[in-house]
Amino acid sequence: MLAVLAGCAGTKSHDSKNLTTNSQGRYIARDTSRTVDLTNPPVDAWDRIRRGFAIPNLNTDLSQQWTDYYASHPEAVQRMAERAGKYLYFIVDEINRRGLPTELALLPFVESAYNPTALSRAQASGLWQFVPATGQHFNLKQDWWRDERRDPIASTNAALDYLEKLFEMQGDWYLALASYNWGEGSVQRAMAKNEAAGQPTDYLSLNMPDETRNYVPKLQAIKNIIADPQRYAVALPPVGNTPYFVTVQKNSDIDLEIAAKLAEMPLDEFKALNPSFNRPVIRGDHGPTLLLPADRVEIFNANLTNYKGDLSAWKVYHSRRGESYASIAKRFGVSEATLRETNDIGSRQKVASGQSLLVPGDPGAGGVQLASLAAPVGALDAAPAGRRILKAVRRLPALSRRRVKDRPLLPREVDAELVPAMWKRAVFSNAKLPQGAVDRDAYVVCVLEQLHRALNRRDVFAAPSNRWADPRARLL
């Protein structure tokens, strides 16, 4: 999408409107776009960002071209801003704590479009696009289980550490940002080359690659739009001045899918907050920190307390050298394709090399009554109808274990009052069962449906609008 302007990327522009130079001959600006009312507190995170602008504006032709480009694609800017909403409060808070310019909170717009799983051709990854070597230098763990370059908290701290270091080294935010993109060594060599030739060593005078030449102008363009979104017809999503996520420490293995269910949130949203985990299970011995929306933590903890069974359906298998993947897959009851996909094993590799593999563990009997579906304590017991439903529910396990072919259910063993009139015939007069027998499966679903209605909560059966169209389709 951004290749549209590639043709002009290498063109130097010394259009220095609103720029002046300092005693070292480097360009600085007379303003930083901070036309804000400081007499009132910020209304949201965007306003908070505007109040912290401190990097001089780079008002060049190239900055204007990128501003025009982004303004002509408002939907793309809005999508980036929506993704940013999950992380902005934390990032701005950390920037403010360090006393840094809030323009840095906009840098992931340029780096990754605020996509925490973005991966470049150079293998740069995460919101802040760390290449592997730089990530290791800033202690971002990268192994088979996790890649902290994608961790919103760890990568943000590393990126701000790096940017602080670059600014202290260069003394100029333009050069610091160019160094972040191109590497401090490359920028210093370009400055040394200009100095040897008797040329200025400011940002606009350096000979840079196209990507770096466009880097600061892109940031300036995003800054221009955030500073005055109405002018560019961009509708920024609301982002409050409160934390979007909070941290939860874990010391035992837990599957991503189970963690998302305990938090009662879609798996893709859980992964968006926890994108650093490479596998379907999070290892407890790594001391992981989970990120959860602030309004999900209480529900997560309540569901975790009520959970019965293992929190992970996976275990680590230490393979023997020369052992075939087909035999390993057969041993653990999984297809070889699934085993290879889960463990990133290429099709050319036929036998194991003694590595650790992730395989299905014992299925267990995990289950949880979701906290958001739980009735208030004693609510059902308080009314005769509730007591009737609970009595029927408590009988269901015994009825479910009954082998129908040995002895079918009889009307005296069930509560006919809990069967809707339109389903009396299906429950009590199933032509496939002996005369006078009860259709167990249909009756179980009827009881569970009555329980659900009594709880007066969300639809746990995900039933269609015609709830009684086919009760067998909703058996748990």
Planar angle of CA 287, 371, 249, nearest 5 degrees: 10
User: Which distant-in-sequence residues (6+ apart) come within 8 Å of 249 by Cβ?
Assistant: 287, 288, 289, 290
CB 206 within 8 A of CB 14: no
Structure tokens at 412: 């005296």
Helix/strand/coil for 272: helix
CB 141 within 8 A of CB 159: no
Q: 58, 156, 154: which is closest to 100 by C-alpha?
A: 156
Structure tokens at 406: 């040995």
CB atoms within 10 A of CB 259: 26
Q: Does residue 164 have an active-site annotation?
A: no
Q: How would you classify residue 392: left for phi > 0, otherwise alpha for psi between -120 and 50, otherwise beta?
A: alpha
CB 213 within 8 A of CB 62: yes
Q: Which of 103, 111, 148, 449 is catalytic?
A: 111
CB 427 within 8 A of CB 467: no
Distance of alpha carbon 198 from alpha carbon 359, whole angstroms: 64
End-to-end CA distance of the chain: 46
Residues with a known catalytic role: 111
